[in-house]
Amino acid sequence: MNQEQMDIKTPEYVSLQFKLAGLGSRAAAFLIDQLLLWAVNVILVIVLIIILNNETFFPIFFAENTIPIAITIIAIFILNWGYFFAFEFFSGGKTIGKKLLGIRVIQENGHSITLLSSFIRNLMRIIDSLPTAYLLGIIMVFFHPKHKRLGDLVAGTIVVHERKAKRKKKKLSPVEKEIENRGLSKDVLPIDDWALKSFALKDWKLLSTYVNRFTQLPLVEKNLLTKQIAEILLPKTGLEAEGKNESDLENILLVLYLNLKDEWEFEI
């Protein structure tokens, strides 16, 4: 099937447009993830064999010979199930394979995947993998109009292609010029996924309104507004506004805007 375009209107009445990931890209991403997992599984099995053949060095395990085997089985299960669950939630819906293929999992409303959705979606892999080699999941993805497997249906998720920045040359907005002139980028203030997920839509609206008016505000009003907004938003990043001058606070808020823009400003 070809990639279809999907239009989504969020509860906040924001129109989003995505390209659905089809069977080919999803299968390729899954294969990459499986190869990585198989490699780690082989390492765990080799470690188990070494332990079982070196009773002298690992006497604590040999009160019962089944202990190292049980630990290995549990570790392999947690690894193979937890890998997808953890990566999809903590890495913005992307496992290593999905990241390499440029696809990600999101909620059907266009928002990032939630902890519960990630848990349900990956728990349902047990059924999607039946009867063997993910046959049920493959059939579902191929024939479903939104390329959903059973886990996506139950969790309310879709898999889409990453939004790519438009390469067209365009005139920079005043605030984009300001950010460029200051030499700011997202890398100036690395923010982990936990911190990013602590920001709500109201925080994004507050920050984007401030940034869009940034170059138009009189100096006194801008300094006052900068301090007020910094006191509200900076604690969520682990930083404090106190002790920083106006210029530092402005830079931090502008960089925070760049980080949140990927999450809240939906453009293909």
- 186-196 residue pLDDT tens: 777 777 777 77
Mean confidence (pLDDT) of the chain: 83
Pairing of β 5-9 and β 157-161: unpaired
Report the chain's C-alpha Rg in angstroms.
24
94-120 burial, b if ≥16 CB within 10 A, otherwise e? bbbbbbebebbbbbeebbbbbeebbeb
pLDDT digits (tens, 9 = 90+) for 155-187: 999 999 987 655 555 677 788 888 888 888 877
For the chain, the straight-line distance linking the first and the last C-alpha, in angstroms and rounded, comes to 21
114-131: average pLDDT? 91
What per-residue confidence (pLDDT) applies to 1?
41
CB 117 within 8 A of CB 123: no
In tens, the pLDDT along 31-85 reads: 999 999 999 999 988 888 887 777 555 555 555 567 777 888 888 888 988 999 9
Identify the burial level of 6 via C-beta atoms within 10 angstroms of its C-beta, where 0-12 means exposed, 13-18 middle and 19 or more buried: middle
Q: What is the mean pLDDT of residues 210-230?
A: 88
pTM value is 0.59
DSSP conformational letter for 97: H
**pLDDT higher for 58 or 248?**
248
For the cut 50, the answer to whether the pLDDT of residue 2 exceeds it is no
